[in-house]
Chains A and B, each alone.
Chain A
Amino acid sequence: MQKITLSVNGTPRAIEAEPDMPLLWALRDLMGLTGTKYGCGIASCGACTVHLDGTPVRSCSITVGLIKNSRITTIEGLSAKAGLAIQQAWIEKQVPQCGYCQSGQIMSATTLLANNANPTDADIDNAMSGNLCRCGTYPRIRAAIHLAAASLREHPTGKGAAETPAKTGSGR
């Protein structure tokens, strides 16, 4: 076991873990951040997507020993303008069915919008094809990304949908 400190959602988190433990299990089992999901363990489904210094990575396939000083953002810590606009659009379009994959979908979509203010369907398909949804919410994911992009373009300073934080329930 090693003492490892990770920067998660802006907070330093000290854990004791084997350095080969994937970030996914450190987040879920050691830090209680269960919004990041396990789906396959081989970077094939995208349910475990988090941001590492703003870039989406599959947390099942990156070990805690390699992360060093990189900033980790999980669904619980999503606060960037694009992220909030995405969450709001997801609610508006009623995207989730079971919702299990949606943390990963939202993390991928957030990066897409941060880099591309006006994505086409093809851009969306390209950016989102690493995230599986067994419920088949893909048509609504496309629609929600377009909606979030429009709202960000309309309110670039953070008004409108982008300004309204996603409503939080008390699921836990």
Chain B
Amino acid sequence: MSTIPRRDFMKLAGTLTLGFSLPGLAISRIANLSQLPLDQVGLSPYIQIAKDGIVTLICPRPDMGQGASQAMPMLIAEELEVRMEDIIVKFSDGQSQFGGQGAGGSSSVRSKYQSLRQVGATAREMLKQAAANKWNCAVADCKAENGKIINKTNDAILSYGALVDEAAKLTPPKDVKLKTPKEFKLIGKSLPRLDVPTRVNGSAVFGLDVQVPGMLYAVVQHSPMIHGKIKSIDDAAALAIPGVRKVVRTERLLPYKKLEAVAVIADNTWAAIQGRKALKVEWENGDNAKTSTTAYFQNLRELVKKDGFTMTDAKGDVESGLKTSVKTLEAVYETPFTAHAPLEPENSTAYVQGDKVEIWAPVQGPDNLISYVVQKYGYKKENVKVNTQLLGGSFGRKSYYDYALEAVDLSKQMNAPVKVTWTREDDLSQGPFRPGMLSAMRGGIDANGIVQAFEHKIVGAFLGWQIFKADPTKSTSWSEGINQEDSPYAIPNRAQKFVLAETEIPVLWWRSVYASTNLFGHECFIDELARAAKQDPMAFRLKMLAGEPRFAAVLQLLKEKSGYGQPLPAGHAMGIAMSRSFKSICAYAVTVSKRGKGVKIEKVVGVIDVGVAINPDNVKAQTEGNVVMGLSAALKNAITFEDGQSQQSNYHQFNIFRINETPKIAIHVMPSEADPGGAGEPGLPPVAPALCNAIFNLTGKRIRKLPFDLENVG
């Protein structure tokens, strides 16, 4: 419906510049199995093979930098027996034949590890059968290699392209045999991500780079205050800005609330920004004129006294465990509100024509966006087309579709394609944000230095409560990283609890979600207990993890790689922390040194066990990035609210780590054949506690509130 080049195709090969219109290659689907339910094994919508042999694989998750666009097609390619440099990757379009397409919870690889390999293996077997039919030989005499079927008896060769028509007529076999990890040719190799060249020469197209012929540009004036309502609009000065076309009322659709807003529509982004600056909107502030993060945290400190909801994985009885202890400890840890602040701010382009909607957007879930368009605006699902664009970072933010829905409304009003650009100021004033949380810890050790009681009570917002009115007592998501399965320290009396705090500050999942806040208190308090027991924190943990070989192995490797326990230079100290989240285990040893009143981070050594690492170098890269983002969250500005308004407007007030602040980072990926866990998030949670444990070991000062000033630890 539009003449935009098909930018959602990426040629994942180095030097070729492949044309825009891949459909012109007359790609024939190997078999028409689109009627199969999702994840049915078999030749599927995920694989398209052209007669000239070009293989297009569908990546059913967006790429926000986590590497899904390599890892997921690699799962198919491994079994299909095609080389990565010979494939084209296309992102799925949100339609139901690809099932759930939301990238989040570090789920892309681990949720599709079996099914995408089965997709590849089934297609391979059909191609082998097709070749056997042509050669009139046994399938067992055929082998697949590099996009070809080879006849083992006479070395005859047929390319996949030559077999595709024949294969398409076959019934997909069931129960195809998958390779064992030892047979992998691609999985587990640190192959270069083949789209990297496009990300160093400006040719990669992110959402904000989309251009649709005839497109107008919009910026939206949102209420500076939470849930403000429009009292009056004076658009005279805005309309006088050259290039401004129109000022219209629009709406920001949160999943749970419709907010009033005003859009400035212009011929280019700058004119729209200038128009918004000139626009005068008076807001009625309503109920949130006094909302502040200070008041929110005061409320949390009151709520700590409540008993809260206890998760079903509790063991023994914490109270009696505390009674049998000779030493008991209590501490409350605090983590702030923070922003995702991806470098590419929220943006979306939409073109509504009659009852049809086409969207080009950087979103974490094209299928979820379609659901919202259907639900909020009443279009038919099959009439909504989403062209998933590359995301210039996201970290959770672009799984909230308010900005994308704005473009739909504005395109409808303008009867033209409209690109909505959020400025950095929109991003940091509107949120949604990671909520501020408390971890209230209690613990006790007996005369032998053994932990007899341990309680971790989370106090704060429940994301599901605000967004979906979900009941936290029916969920375990808030326990990510601290429940018995994720934190299997052997403690006889133990409980994980949750106390709900409500807030009108918009909140959302942020990289590693609850684990990003839960582990700070959890792992610092383990160190507090170790110190109270007069034991080395590494040995203390290993003792409590004696029955957990994967956890123990991570700590042992960390010990070896970091030189833990060996003498350090004067004025240096090391601290550790570990966590399991999204089914992967990660531990860090942070070395710090004294610098004036403050502390310098000398080095971060990490070990991560993600099970099978599809691309170990990418797992390493994600973990390096998690160290940097985790340090930013621990040390840089929080998001604070006063009088119902965010107090941070741009990167000068919401600092993130810069290169000159970044310590040396060495990450080691644990070799493993276990089914894959997550990779994008599990590296974040143990960063802050490892740092703060190191600072305690250096200075004796226990930090229980983030963020803190590294220059002045006191």
The interface of chain A, by Cβ under 8 A from chain B, is 1, 18, 21-22, 25, 28-30, 32-42, 44-45, 47, 74-76, 78, 87, 90-91, 94-103, 106, 124-126, 128-129, 131-142, 166-172
Contact = CB atoms under 8 A, between A and B. Distances in A.
A125 B201 contact: no
Interface of A is mostly: loop
A153 to B, nearest CB: 21
A30 B203 CA distance: 17
Contacts of A18: 242-243, 270-271
Contacts of B202: 33-36, 74-76, 103
Given A29-B269, A128-B659, A129-B660, A99 B197 contact: no
Nearest to B630: A136
Contacts of B233: none
Nearest to A125: B660
Contact of B16 (A106, A166, A170): A170
A94 B19 contact: no
B628 A34 contact: no
B625 A137 contact: yes
A136 B242 CA distance: 39
Interface in B598-630: 617-618, 621-622, 624-629
Given A25-B270, A44-B650, A131-B659, A38 B208 contact: yes
Interface of B is mostly: loop
Report, as a range, how many residues of chain B touch the other chain.
Answer: 35 or more
B628 A98 contact: no
Interface in B222-248: 242-243
B341 A98 contact: no
A87 B618 CA distance: 19
Contacts of A36: 202
A172 to B, nearest CB: 5
A166 B197 contact: yes
A134 B342 contact: yes
Most buried by B among A137, A141, A168, A172: A172
B503 interface: no
Given A42-B652, A129-B658, A97 B203 contact: no
B659 A129 contact: yes
A168 B658 CA distance: 28
11 contacts: A36-B202, A37-B343, A45-B651, A95-B196, A97-B393, A100-B344, A100-B393, A136-B628, A168-B203, A171-B10, A171-B195
Q: Which 6 A-B pairs have the closest CB atoms?
A: A35-B202, A136-B628, A100-B392, A99-B199, A98-B65, A136-B625
B447 interface: no
B200 A98 contact: no
A27 B656 CA distance: 27
Contacts of B627: 136
Nearest to B243: A18
Interface in B625-668: 625-629, 650-652, 656-660, 662, 664-665
A94 B196 contact: yes
A38 B345 contact: yes
A91 B395 CA distance: 23
Contact of A133 (B12, B63, B242, B343): B343
B181 interface: no
Given A100-B393, A138-B628, A29 B200 contact: no
Contacts of B20: 170, 172
A1 B202 CA distance: 28
B15 interface: yes
B357 interface: no
B197 A42 contact: no
Given A39-B343, A99-B200, A168-B201, A94 B10 contact: no
Interface in B166-215: 192-206, 208-209, 211
A28 B194 CA distance: 25
Contacts of A103: 202
B563 interface: no
Most buried by B among A29, A75, A136, A138: A136
A91 B192 contact: yes
B559 interface: no
Given A91-B192, A169-B11, A136 B624 contact: yes
Most buried by B among A30, A34, A124: A34
A96 B268 contact: no
Contacts of A96: 65, 196, 199-200
B607 to A, nearest CB: 16
A58 B634 CA distance: 29
Contact of A30 (B63, B205, B268, B664): B268
Most buried by A among B64, B204, B205, B273: B204
B316 interface: no
Nearest to B9: A170
A172 B617 CA distance: 27
Nearest to A90: B200
A44 to B, nearest CB: 4
Contacts of A44: 650-652
A97 B622 contact: yes
A21 B7 contact: no
Contacts of B295: none
Interface in B9-64: 9-20, 63-64
A49 to B, nearest CB: 12
Nearest to B66: A97
B5 A21 contact: no
Interface string B648-691: 00111000111110101100000000000000000000000000
Contacts of B195: 169, 171
A28 to B, nearest CB: 7
B343 A100 contact: yes
A139 to B, nearest CB: 5
B203 A134 contact: no
Given A91-B197, A98-B392, A37 B19 contact: no
B7 A171 contact: yes
A66 to B, nearest CB: 15
Contact of B64 (A30, A98, A101, A136): A98
Contacts of B208: 34, 37-38
B110 interface: no
Contacts of B617: 94
Given A169-B13, A169-B204, 9 more contacts: A74-B202, A98-B199, A98-B394, A100-B65, A133-B628, A133-B659, A134-B393, A140-B624, A170-B9
B659 A25 contact: no
B424 interface: yes
